Amino acid sequence: IADRELERALRRGGECCLIGSEEQPETIPLSPEGDFQERFAVFFDPLDGSTNTDVNASVGTIFSVYTLPGQLDAEASLSVALQRGAEQVAAGYVAYGSSTMFVFTTGNGVNGFTLDPGIGEFLLTHPDLTIPAGRGMYSVNEADIEDFSPELRAFLRWLKKKDPETGKRIRARYIGSFVSDFHRNLLTGGLYMYPATADHPKGKLRLMYEANPMAFLVEEAGGRASDGIQRILDLQPESLHQRTPLFIGSAPLIEAAEAYLQGREAEVPAPA
């Protein structure tokens, strides 16, 4: 239902020439004759965390927007649309929970809007969002820890150490909805991890409509996003449903994760 409604809305808008959805095997041209004169391509995950709906837990929608050249024929559409995340012109998500919140960037900072159901409008409630640099919370499915690399397990041990000044530890929270975990960490500080594992050596999250839009948002909010080796927004996608490992959140924590994963743990200071 969510996938169908998003496609319907983008068709009605008239500015979008191409869409790519997690629920569809290929991109869908919206121009009736494949003569793409409209400017925008939109990639989206229509219902992130959909397994949470059975237990009434929070879910969300993620989207990413790119510009395409005019007069693009259908055969060339996918190859041109598969741009690096750094080429995004807009990205955002909607978090559905105790309130409905829309978080959005066009490359000039991040703003959050909350739905007022009384008037049916989104109101600016969180202007100029920035992710705190502190440790906050970490989100990862530690049920898979036996499949994590030795370097990642070492990073987790470092992450859980007490702050030598306060005696406090970082807190763990994992909802199982990328939008929900990311949104909380954006507000509180911390990081979200979905690493490569034995079962998913290339990671599990999709680059085009999960990792890229969230990476754009977090960088605009002062954070970082990495696959453990390089910046997510610099990755060149080769297919619509390409997967990637993802480490995303407060910049100091992502830098520490990269150092451990690359064997440079000696460079990492004590937790603070």
pLDDT beyond 70 at 74: no
Rounded average pLDDT over 129-135 = 93
pLDDT beyond 80 at 192: yes
- pTM, rounded to two decimals: 0.93
**Same domain? 177 vs 242:** yes
The CB density around residue 173, as the number of other CB atoms within 10 Å, is 15
Q: Where are the beta strands (DSSP E) in 70-179?
A: 90-96, 100-105, 110-116, 121-126, 137-139, 171-172
pLDDT beyond 90 at 35: no
Residue % of the chain over a pLDDT of 70? 93
d(CA 172, CA 184): 12
**Is position 272 within any domain?**
no
Sole residue written with tokens 């409209």 = 38
- What mean pLDDT is reported for the chain? 91
The residues, any chain, with a CB within 8 Å of residue 233's CB and separated by 6 or more, are 84, 85, 86, 88, 212, 215, 216, 219, 225
Greatest Cα-to-Cα distance within the chain, rounded to the nearest angstrom: 65
pLDDT category at 53 given cuts 50, 70, 90 is confident
pLDDT beyond 60 at 33: no
Sole residue written with tokens 């990637």 = 244
Domain that holds residue 220: 137-267
Rounded average pLDDT over 173-197 = 96
Give the CATH number of the domain where residue 13 resides: 3.30.540.10
List Cα–Cα distances, 13 to 6, 40, 60, 263, in angstroms: 11, 11, 21, 49
Q: What are phi and psi of 206, to 5 degrees?
A: -85, 140
Give the pLDDT of residue 140: 97
Please give the tally of structural domains in the chain. 2
Rounded average pLDDT over 10-24 = 88
H helical segments located in the chain: 2-13, 77-81, 150-159, 178-188, 212-220, 251-261
**Which tokens is 30 given?**
């919206």
**What SS3 state is found at 126?**
strand
CA–CA–CA angle 138, 144, 145 (5° rounding): 70
Rounded average pLDDT over 96-110 = 96
Give the pLDDT of residue 50: 76
pLDDT category at 78 given cuts 50, 70, 90 is low
**Same domain? 9 vs 114:** yes
pLDDT category at 73 given cuts 50, 70, 90 is low
**Same domain? 119 vs 14:** yes
**Is position 131 within any domain?**
no
Q: Assess contact for 249 and 223: CB atoms under 8 A.
A: yes
**Same domain? 62 vs 171:** no
**Which tokens is 74 given?**
């259908």
- For 136-145, the pLDDT digits (tens) are 999 999 999 9
Where among 99, 126, 153 does a domain terminate? Answer: 126
Give the pLDDT of residue 32: 59
Bridge partners for 18 per DSSP: 29, 41
Rounded average pLDDT over 100-119 = 98
**Same domain? 89 vs 52:** yes
**Same domain? 141 vs 261:** yes
- For 204-226, the pLDDT digits (tens) are 999 999 999 999 999 999 999 99
- Burial code (b: 16+ CB inside 10 Å, e: under 16) for 202-221 equals ebbbbbbbbbbbbbbbbbbb
Higher pLDDT, 171 or 28: 171
**Can you give the C-alpha Rg of the chain in angstroms?**
19
Give the pLDDT of residue 166: 83
List Cα–Cα distances, 267 to 32, 151, 259, in angstroms: 56, 14, 7
Give the pLDDT of residue 76: 53
Give the pLDDT of residue 54: 75
pLDDT beyond 80 at 173: yes
Give the CATH number of the domain where residue 236 resides: 3.40.190.80
